[in-house]
């Protein structure tokens, strides 16, 4: 099969178009013929690599896959060939206490398709049956591919971890990113007041169209000072953080007593500090979050089917232009998701 993969870690330049063996589904797996795969910052990080990351090379990236069932394993009896589907990127053992309690993200064997195992930058990908959901009928394959990782991550951050409630105020950083644009919609749907940051007027206009109540151009103004003005110095109940080092200190300062900061990423760096006196005196909560449970994605898709949540598709490129797509994402030249089609 045709695939984009890398033989060594690095930037977009290490991505190669190559022919790889077509995967064969095991007994409890299905093979998906990929129609669309969305990019995430996770793809950039895996491509670059980090200490301790061990992959079988060449490695195929791509967590967010939409396509059709092409083949099934011997024990899969409920999915006809040709069924239009969406792939949940989170893999877990399915039998431990955490998995059975619905906390599969806490499974000791948790992995992510495209990060730990081969992903969807290819014509075909094999995944466990339990990771298959029906594609929302109202969406194209390209639109559907924008949903899983970004909306699942944002949902888990806001509701499972930060416990966002109606009437609260949330600061969402980098609203132009896939996870940021998803968070704006989810927070607004929950009845929160949304303050969104972005680096250009165009991105801010798009964030407003998704439901943001207040807009901050962090490239032109100090977002902490703007938050103080917008809230009459009451600050925000929740900070939705995934930028990292460049925003960390001021994000902490945006929290009042009892405030919560939830984070899923470190795009601008992971080495941050906090004054412990601030932590205990203000009784603030710092919450880490990765992906979300399989059941949460069902809730997301139900809202999508109702038209209450919308995928945010920036552009569609052919699979062969994956390196270009990586560059666009790294340079923050997109709003929402870039999608590749084989």
Three-class secondary structure assignment of 127-190: EEHHHEEECCCCCCHHHHCCCHHHHHHHHHHHHHHCCCCCCCEEEECCCCCHHHHHHHHHHHHC
Residue 296 CA to residue 291 CA, distance in Å, equals 10
Same domain, 167 and 262: yes
Same domain, 333 and 268: no
CB 4 within 8 A of CB 61: yes
Mean pLDDT of the residues in the chain: 96
Q: How many domains does the chain have?
A: 2
Average pLDDT on 283-296 reads: 96
Query: Residue 250, SS3?
Result: helix
Asked if the structure places residue 301 within a domain, the reply is no
Same domain, 131 and 159: no
Same domain, 8 and 78: yes
Average pLDDT on 49-59 reads: 94
Same domain, 81 and 138: yes
Asked if the structure places residue 104 within a domain, the reply is yes
Asked if the structure places residue 86 within a domain, the reply is yes
Residue recorded with tokens 């977002």: 223
Average pLDDT on 221-240 reads: 98
Which two tokens mark 209?
């169209």
Asked if the structure places residue 297 within a domain, the reply is no
Same domain, 162 and 128: no
Q: According to the model, what pLDDT value does residue 108 have?
A: 95
| Torsion sign across C-alpha atoms 200, 206, 210, 213 | positive
Q: According to the model, what pLDDT value does residue 191 have?
A: 98
- Domain membership of residue 135 as a residue range: 2-147+311-341
Q: According to the model, what pLDDT value does residue 99 have?
A: 95
Confidence of residue 185 (pLDDT cuts 50, 70, 90): very high
Q: According to the model, what pLDDT value does residue 302 have?
A: 96
- Cα 180 from chain centroid? 9
pTM: 0.95
């Amino acid at each position: 099969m045709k695939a984009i993969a890398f033989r060594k870690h690095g930037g977009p330049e290490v991505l190669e178009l190559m022919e790889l063996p077509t995967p064969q589904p095991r007994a409890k797996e299905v093979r998906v013929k990929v129609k669309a795969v969305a990019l995430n910052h996770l793809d950039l990080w895996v491509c670059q690599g980090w200490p301790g990351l061990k992959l079988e090379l060449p490695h195929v990236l791509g967590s967010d896959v939409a396509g059709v069932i092409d083949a099934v394993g011997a024990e899969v009896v409920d999915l006809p060939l040709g069924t239009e589907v969406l792939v949940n990127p989170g893999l877990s053992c399915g039998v431990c206490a955490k998995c059975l309690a619905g906390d599969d993200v806490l499974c000791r064997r948790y992995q992510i398709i495209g990060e730990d195992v081969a992903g969807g930058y290819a014509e075909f990908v094999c995944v466990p049956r339990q990771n298959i959901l029906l594609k929302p009928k109202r969406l194209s394959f390209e639109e559907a591919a924008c949903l899983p990782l970004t909306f699942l991550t944002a949902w888990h951050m806001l509701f499972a971890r930060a416990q966002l409630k109606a009437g609260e105020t949330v600061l969402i950083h980098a609203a132009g990113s896939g996870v940021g644009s998803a968070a704006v919609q989810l927070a607004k749907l929950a009845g929160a007041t949304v303050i969104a940051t972005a680096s250009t007027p165009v991105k801010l206009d798009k964030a407003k169209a998704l439901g943001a109540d207040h807009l901050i151009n962090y490239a032109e103004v100090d977002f902490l000072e703007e938050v103080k003005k917008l809230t009459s110095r009451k600050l925000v109940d929740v900070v939705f953080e995934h930028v990292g080092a460049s925003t960390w200190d001021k994000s902490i300062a945006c929290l009042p007593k009892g405030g919560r900061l939830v984070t899923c990423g470190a795009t601008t760096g992971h080495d941050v500090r906090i004054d412990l006196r601030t932590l205990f005196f203000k009784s603030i909560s710092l919450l880490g979050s990765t992906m979300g449970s399989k059941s949460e994605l069902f809730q997301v898709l139900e809202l999508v089917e109702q038209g209450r949540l919308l995928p945010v598709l920036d552009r569609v490129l052919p699979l062969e232009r994956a390196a270009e797509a990586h560059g666009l994402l790294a340079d923050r030249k997109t709003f929402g998701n870039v999608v590749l089609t084989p």
